[in-house]
Amino acid sequence: MNLAVFFNLLFLAWVAYAGYRLWMASPSITTRVSAMVLAAALAWGTLKNLYEALMLTGRF
Amino acid sequence: MNPFMTLMWLEFRKYSAWLIGFAVTLVSSVWLFNQMTGAGGDEGRVGAFAIGLSAMIGLIMIFIFFYGAEAGRDYRSGRWSLLLGSPLPGWMQMGSRVLFAFLAITLFSALMLGLMHIMLIKPMGIVIPLGFYLSLWLYGLGGLPLILFGLFGTLFTTAYLPRKTQNIAGFVAVLGSGSLLALLSQLLSKIMFSLPPWIIPMPTVDGVPIDFKDSDVQFGNHLPTEGFVALLLISALLFYATSRMWTEVEA
């Protein structure tokens, strides 16, 4: 498997896990909204990296 | 007893050691600049300017980091509730902290830049108008977004109580805001320079103004005004979010 794709997928899984943990453990609505915005931005960045890695190498 | 002034006084008491540190940096800079310009002339001045500028920025960064960490400890451990008598609104807690850090940073950087201006820049024949400093200071809102971001990051992180969740929150805060900034700059670059540009009064060397128009530097004597508007909006949003967080989470 392409190493860049592998690590991006791994990180994406971690972001999903972190988002779940932060959603469950949020003490207030503002922290929950902030956590979701930050996690979504992080997921967007990772997906963009994943897309670029796929386009650049042309293989999974 | 005015609660806002009490909070400001508390900040002053907590950070007097830092203020002494700033003063010591200023005094030792005078000594360092004197030594370097005495031995090295104009080359010494350029070196001293680089050291002075990086020392100033580095110290401000470290200050903001510790400032945020202290605020994070404050609202989770409820340290001052006995002294303050009753819980104060979040915006007042944040307002006093932001104002204190803003005043400390502005005073320190103004004195440091003034020192460098008089001791290093002027003797080299470079004339930097006051408007140059003021224009850049206003564009960056005097570092206000950075202070607010430091406070937001630590308040957000320390809101989560088990240590492991706190680590996850800190990681997401640091990396996520990086992604958010990348996304924002991508959006901003699409509408850049649609507003009238932010003109900066440029420095002159021997009466000739420094102009980067022909060099590789993209912005000459102007910056996109959209950046200023974006910083203003980000600051307002961060202040609102941190204030709400303080009210909701304060122990």
Query: Under an 8 A CB cutoff, do A27 and B172 touch?
Result: no
* Residue B207 touches partner A, C-beta closer than 8 Å: no
* CA pair distance B176, B220, nearest whole angstrom: 32
Nearest CA distance, B77 vs chain A (angstrom): 15
Mean pLDDT (chain A) is 91
Which string of b and e fits B56-71 if b means at least 16 CB within 10 Å?
beebbeebbeebbeeb
Does the pLDDT value for residue B220 go beyond 80?
no
Average pLDDT, integer, range B85-95: 83
Nearest chain B Cα distance for residue A7, angstroms: 16
CB of B245 within 8 Å of a chain A CB? The answer is yes
DSSP string, B14-67: HTHHHHHHHHHHHHHHHHHHHHHHHHHHHHHHHHHHHHHHHHHHHHHHHHHHHH
Instruction: Select from B90, B95, B70, B58 the least CA-distant residue to B14.
Output: B70
* Amino acid of residue B114: G
**Among candidates A30, A41, A45 on the partner chain, residue whose Cβ is nearest the Cβ of B241:** A30
Task: Say which of B156, B159, B179 has its CB closest to residue A41.
Answer: B179
Any CB–CB contact under 8 A between B160 and chain A? yes
Q: Give the nearest partner residue to B168 out of A18, A28, A45, using CB atoms.
A: A18
Closest approach of chain B CAs to the CA of A41, in angstroms?
Answer: 5
- Provide ipTM, 2 decimals: 0.89
Q: What is the pLDDT of residues B20-34, one digit of tens each?
A: 999 999 999 999 988
Neighbours of B147 (CB within 10 A): 27
A21 → closest Cβ in B159, B168, B175 = B168
8 A C-beta contact, residue B45 and residue B36: yes
Position A20 scores a pLDDT of 95
pLDDT score of B212 more than 70: no
- Nearest-CA distance A43 → chain B (Å): 8
Picking from B119-123, B195-199, B212-216, which range would have the lowest pLDDT averaged per residue?
Answer: B212-216
- Contact, B182 vs A43, CB < 8 A? no
Indicate whether B217 pLDDT > 60: no
Q: Are B102 and B144 in contact (CB under 8 A)?
A: yes
Burial class of B6 by CB neighbour count within 10 A (0 to 12, 13 to 18, 19+)? middle
* CB contact at 8 A, B96 and B133: no
Residues contacting A25, CB < 8 A, separation 6+: B160, B161, B162, B165
pTM exceeds cut of 0.90: no
Better-scored residue on pLDDT, B228 or B39: B228
Span B165-202, pLDDT tens digits = 999 999 999 999 999 999 998 888 888 888 888 888 88
Structure tokens of B71?
Answer: 């605020």
Per-residue pLDDT, B221: 76
Q: B184 or B1: which carries more pLDDT confidence? A: B184
In this prediction, the residues of chain A whose per-residue pLDDT falls under 70 are 60
pLDDT (average), residues B128-142: 90
Can you give the pLDDT at residue B53? 92
Write out chain A residues lying below 8 Å of B182, CB-based: 45
In terms of CA atoms, which chain A residue is nearest residue B167? A18
DSSP assigned state of B85: S
